[in-house]
Amino acid sequence: MGKFIYDGSVKVDFDDRTLAHLQLVIGTKLRRGEPFHFTWKDDTSIGNGRTTVWVHPRCTLVYKYYGSRKPTINMAWIEALVYTANSPAGLYLVPEPAESSLEMHDEEN
């Protein structure tokens, strides 16, 4: 389980694999100077609602991974997340799509 920390005060848990995909999408958007909203569903322990933050080049982001291995990246999932990030609603998690074995990229190589 990893942790996404926004401006030091908003903290949310994501599994390491999800967090790695989010980091790639968010990093790409910020390198391009493209601010956007990022929305996620809150855990039932804090009300089962949702949280939205405005991600921009001056915000402070921390990606804390608790596992020692880098997850394999699913490019189909990256593309799906980028699609949401470029929409008026902004970035939100979508289910991980399947990808062919020829398209799989391992971050360890």
Residue 46's pLDDT is 80
State both tokens at 36. 């956007």
Average pLDDT over residues 17-44: 96
What share of the chain in percent tops pLDDT 70?
91
Closest alpha carbon to 21 in 89, 99, 88, 101: 99
| Nearest-10 Cα torsion for 64, 66, 69, 70 | -30
Give the pTM: 0.87
Residues 66 and 55: their CA atoms lie apart, in Å, by 23
State both tokens at 38. 């990022």
